[in-house]
Amino acid sequence: MIDAESLPLIFASLLGLSILLYVVLDGFDLGVGLLLPFAESNQRDRRVASIGPFWDANETWLVLAIGILLVAFPAAHGQILTALYLPDLPVAIMLIGLILRGVAFEFRAKAPLPHKDRWDRIFFAGSLTTSLSQGLMLGLYVMGLKWGLAEVAFAALTSLALSAAYGFIGAAWLILKTDGALQLKAVAWARRGIWGLVLGMAAVSLATPLVSPRIFAKWFSFPEIVLLVPLPVMSALLIVLVWIALKRLPTRDDSFAWFPFAAATLLMALGFCGMAYSFYPFIVPERLTIAAAASSPESLRIILFGVVCVLPVILAYTVFAYAIFRGKATGLSYD
């Protein structure tokens, strides 16, 4: 039987994994939505087709993350959502954006041609609203869930940076899934969008050690700094490699079309690891530790049984969907 001290760490790891998978997987289809207005009408169907089999399932990871937070860390769930619901309702705004995306995605497929542009605009608006609200929540979380002027200004910066990062990973996805003129455009979008990702990672990296003396000491004390150094070094190396690759893409035989998306995924994972390292053992920055926020060991054992049953199913159908719909996206058809 798993001991009581390990259970909160297991659920914190599952929560982190769910959030990371959501950011990467739903991040690229949010990015494709953000890029929708920047292509000709005859290319939009193919772009939507590149995310069609995946976008709805990608949001499962958000549902799983919120569910784990609610049942495994109810105290943290209450504090985090209370802070984010007030005063500007970023969580509610994100949900509205997700609803707009879902409705627009379905209706554009059935709308007469003259009305399709309207649903494309709504799909873009839903993607933008969702991305901006998630960036705002990220910034507020990093700043300790405070609503001061400096904290809101930083959250506004991360809001724009995360949207640009989503645009970059969306462009990287299109490089992987398309060819021809659309792939050329995706390469150009990725060259611009990568700087949003760099700005966001730099902003969070600069602000995080200033949130508390504890995090500052974790970053700059010896030997703790030795644990952190590989993260920025690897991130900088990846950014340089992506920039070199984007200068040479697309290639004649379409080799290395996978590299920008793989690198973007790894960059987001490295950034996430840096945040996890910084805030551990707190789940609510400087307020509530993982152990203090966790449900009772008896409850966690019951919940773990459910997670062990559900998680493999989610992973299995995710892998199955990506395997079945691998390769280049073709023209969109609902016949």
Q: pLDDT (tens digit, 9 = 90+) per residue, 160-173?
A: 888 988 999 999 99
pTM value surpassing 0.85: yes
Three-state DSSP class for 288? strand
Mind listing the pLDDT tens digit for each residue in 116-159? 788 888 989 999 999 999 988 888 888 888 888 888 888 888 88
Q: What is the pLDDT of residue 11?
A: 93
CB atoms within 10 A of CB 117: 14
Dihedrals phi, psi of 281, to nearest 5 degrees: -95, 20
Q: What is the pLDDT of residue 130?
A: 93
Which tokens sit at 104? Answer: 């627009």
What is the spatial distance between Cα 298 and Cα 295, in angstroms, rounded to a whole number?
A: 8
Identify the CA nearest to 328 among candidates 185, 173, 184: 173
Low-confidence stretches of the chain (pLDDT < 50) are: none
What is the spatial distance between Cα 245 and Cα 256, in angstroms, rounded to a whole number?
A: 8
Q: What is the pLDDT of residue 86?
A: 60
Contact 260, 175 (CB under 8 A): yes
Contact 220, 232 (CB under 8 A): no
Dihedrals phi, psi of 294, to nearest 5 degrees: -75, 150
Contact 300, 7 (CB under 8 A): yes
Q: What is the pLDDT of residue 85?
A: 66
Contact 159, 199 (CB under 8 A): no
Q: What is the pLDDT of residue 138?
A: 87
Q: What is the pLDDT of residue 335?
A: 52
What is the spatial distance between Cα 77 and Cα 93, in angstroms, rounded to a whole number?
A: 18
Rounded to 10 deg, the angle between the 297-324 and 6-34 helix axes is 30
